[in-house]
């Protein structure tokens, strides 16, 4: 027994040493990509940084943050897909989905002012379903007449058209946007068509008084090709979402109101599937802050949530919750240390009461920050998981919440204009995990099953090699293991690297070579099948000639090639990934 214990201890110490070595290396290099905000360890990406990245999708922006992995409709932080994404204060997670997929197509990168990323924290203020963290996206204030027209085309019958315009008159500002995307896809029944439109009205009569109303619409029609071994050549999916938001601020009190109305339809005549689910989510958040002199700053607020759902295979359902939260941020005057303690209490109509703490202590001197954070949050099961019935899933109305405890130790530093740094250790423990359990008859259901631990570390690197050449790299080490079975969680690579080598020979031309690496991933929960590690190369080029700049705007050209080597590979969930793809187009900013 002692030898077995010592062997386990050696394995644990070896893994911990690997993580510590990675973090120590990051500290030695004093390196980092995006940087931390001056007061907290939140990662902030500005509009200027986004412009220098030469990317066309928000997922490519998020993938440059260590620990973050994003796709067209999903995002995960340190292995957890439970990430709350808010656009100007309202969530854009898909309420009809099983795991909180994100409607990233509602976001136009041209309109983004900044992105704030809270890894493993933020639930104290922003509520449930944020065990992975919170991502806040803020659009630009409407203060001048400007906008853009963008279009690009590519292989696989790909095309994109979008336009944005903002204008003001006195205290009133108006913004409108529209977009259309289409691709024929790279497999049978893999086509996608997306349409979006939106508008925003702002009214700012005084410095401490503002009012903003936003309305956005997105329709997504696509085929689902299925895995290569289980093709679904006739499966069609259609989703539609209206999103409304009303934001008001007066005398230090902020009100955020939203309503999301979404519907998803699935049809596959080969398997007898023809069902739909529609979900409405309403929310109201009130928050304020108050200076307590010697006792720091008190931030407090209240939140109300209501959700209703109905589907072709279940009767209408509705539920609600009420929350109160408060946090005190206290600076210690004798030392460059900041202490923050917070608490959020929630009463649910369908679940038990919860009381979740969040605590952080941070040390800041010069341009270096060291912080330790602990937070607890709950992930509520979706309407789809509890009530919807499909050909392969039975409902489980008794499904309960997950509970997550997150611990993180983070270091950030900016040494000079050429070197900055960041490193972190994290440990996330999920209990009563919501898991799809497949029965012997091929039909399963979601159940609260076991405990999962996500632990690891990450580092960032941002080096300005010369005035024209810079390197930006992120690395994440992740262990994602089910505590009961000791098996690896599906689609969780142990190692992940993202690197951008940027060359700007002239102010008009930008060339970025990108490299992505992910190690082996299991594709089944029993760990019987896996996909090998892979390295994928990409290239982005943007050219904005000065002679194309005129009185009314400036015209720029760009192109992008992904999977340059045309590798055949699969994602971690077993689905076939795209071959070499390319796009080329223009962007006219005015």
Domains for the chain: give ranges and CATH numbers: 2-589 (2.40.170.20)
Helix and strand tally (H, E) in the chain? 5, 37
What Cα–Cα distance (Å) separates residue 462 from each residue in 360, 422, 459, 477?
Answer: 26, 10, 10, 18
How far apart (Å, rounded) are the C-alpha atoms in residues 24 and 16?
12
Q: What pLDDT score does 130 carry?
A: 94
Contacts 24+ apart (CB under 8 A), 328-331: 328/292, 328/295, 328/296, 328/297, 328/298, 328/299, 329/296, 329/297, 329/299, 330/295, 330/296, 331/296
- Report the C-alpha gap between 102 and 85 in whole angstroms: 7
What's the pLDDT at 12?
Answer: 39
CA 283 to chain centre: 20
Which burial class, exposed, middle or buried, applies to 575 when counting CB atoms under 10 A from its CB (0-12, 13-18, 19+)? Answer: middle
* Mean pLDDT computed over 178-187: 97
Six-digit token string for 471: 């390197």
- Length of the chain in terms of residues written: 590
d(CA 231, CA 300): 51
Q: Region 481-510: what's the mean pLDDT? A: 93
Lowest model confidence (mean pLDDT) among 384-393, 449-458, 467-476, 532-541: 384-393
Per-residue pLDDT averaged across 536-551, rounded?
90
Cβ partners under 8 Å of residue 51, min gap 6: none
Q: Which two tokens stand for residue 108?
A: 């136009």
The predicted structure's pLDDT at residue 319: 97
93, 87 contact by CB (below 8 A): no
Flag whether pLDDT at 227 surpasses 90. Answer: no
Which among 64-68, 77-81, 544-548, 558-562 has the top mean pLDDT? 558-562
pLDDT exceeds 90 at position 216 = yes
Averaged over 154-168, what is the pLDDT? 97
Write the pLDDT tens digit of every residue in 9-27.
444 344 433 433 333 333 3
Band (459; pLDDT cuts 50, 70, 90): very high
Residue 41: what pLDDT?
A: 64
Q: Write out the two tokens for 393.
A: 């899933």
Q: List, in sequence order, the alpha helices (H) in 102-170.
A: 123-126
Task: Judge whether 497 and 473 are in contact, CB under 8 Å.
Answer: yes
Any idea what DSSP says for residue 473? E
**Which among 353, 398, 360, 396 is positioned nearest to 378, based on CA atoms?**
353
Environment class of 170 (CB within 10 Å of its CB; exposed 0-12, middle 13-18, buried 19+): exposed
What is the pLDDT at residue 33?
39
């Amino acid at each position: 027994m002692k030898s077995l214990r010592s062997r386990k201890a050696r394995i644990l110490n070896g893994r911990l040493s690997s993580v510590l070595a990675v973090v120590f290396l990051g500290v030695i290099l004093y390196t980092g990509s995006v940087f931390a905000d001056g007061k907290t360890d939140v990662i902030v990406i500005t509009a200027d940084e986004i412009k220098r990245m030469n990317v066309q999708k928000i997922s490519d922006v998020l993938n440059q943050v260590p620990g973050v992995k994003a796709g067209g409709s999903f995002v995960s932080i340190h292995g957890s897909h439970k990430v709350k994404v808010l656009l100007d204060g309202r969530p854009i997670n898909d309420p009809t989905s099983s795991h909180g997929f994100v409607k990233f197509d509602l976001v136009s990168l041209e309109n983004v002012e900044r992105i704030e990323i809270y890894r493993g924290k933020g639930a104290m203020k922003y509520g449930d379903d944020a065990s992975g963290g919170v991502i806040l996206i803020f659009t630009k204030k409407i203060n001048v007449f400007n906008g853009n027209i963008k279009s690009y085309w590519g292989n696989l019958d790909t095309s994109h058209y979008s336009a944005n315009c903002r204008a003001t008159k006195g205290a009133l500002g108006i913004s409108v946007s529209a977009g259309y995307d289409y691709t024929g896809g790279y497999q049978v029944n893999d086509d996608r068509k997306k349409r979006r439109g939106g508008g925003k009205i702002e009214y700012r009569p005084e410095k401490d008084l503002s009012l903003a109303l936003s309305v956005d619409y997105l329709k997504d029609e696509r085929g689902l090709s299925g895995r290569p071994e289980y093709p679904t050549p006739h499966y069609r999916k259609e989703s539609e979402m209206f999103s409304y938001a009303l934001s008001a601020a007066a005398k230090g009190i902020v009100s955020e109101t939203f309503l999301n109305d979404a519907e998803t339809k699935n049809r596959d005549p080969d398997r007898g599937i023809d069902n739909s689910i529609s979900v409405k989510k309403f929310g109201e958040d009130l928050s304020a802050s108050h200076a307590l002199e010697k006792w720091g700053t008190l931030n407090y607020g209240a939140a109300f949530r209501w959700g209703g759902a109905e589907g072709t295979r279940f009767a209408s359902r509705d539920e609600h919750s009420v929350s109160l939260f408060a946090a005190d941020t206290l600076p210690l005057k004798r030392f460059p240390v900041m202490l923050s303690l917070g608490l959020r209490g929630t009463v649910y109509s369908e679940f038990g009461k919860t009381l979740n703490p969040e605590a952080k202590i941070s040390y800041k001197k010069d341009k270096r920050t060291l912080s330790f954070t602990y937070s607890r949050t709950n992930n509520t099961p979706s309407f789809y998981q509890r009530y919807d019935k499909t050909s392969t899933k039975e409902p489980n109305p008794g499904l309960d919440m997950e509970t997550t405890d997150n611990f993180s130790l983070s270091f950030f530093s900016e040494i000079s204009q050429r070197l900055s740094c960041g490193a972190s250790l994290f440990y996330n423990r999920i209990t009563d995990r919501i898991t799809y359990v497949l029965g012997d008859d091929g039909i399963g259901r979601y159940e609260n099953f076991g405990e999962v631990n996500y632990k690891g570390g990450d580092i960032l690197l941002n080096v300005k090699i010369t005035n024209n050449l810079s390197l930006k790299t992120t690395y994440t080490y992740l262990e994602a293991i089910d505590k009961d079975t000791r098996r690896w969680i599906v689609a969780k690579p142990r190692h992940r690297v993202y690197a951008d080598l940027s060359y700007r020979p002239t102010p008009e031309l930008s060339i970025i070579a990108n490299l992505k690496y992910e190690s082996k991933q299991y594709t089944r929960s029993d760990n019987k099948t896996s996909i090998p590690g892979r390295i994928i190369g990409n290239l982005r080029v943007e050219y904005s000639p000065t002679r194309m700049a005129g009185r009314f705007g400036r015209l720029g050209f760009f192109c992008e090639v992904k999977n340059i080597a045309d590798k055949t590979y699969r994602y971690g969930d077993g689905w076939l990934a795209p071959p070499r793809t390319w796009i080329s187009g223009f962007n006219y900013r005015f």
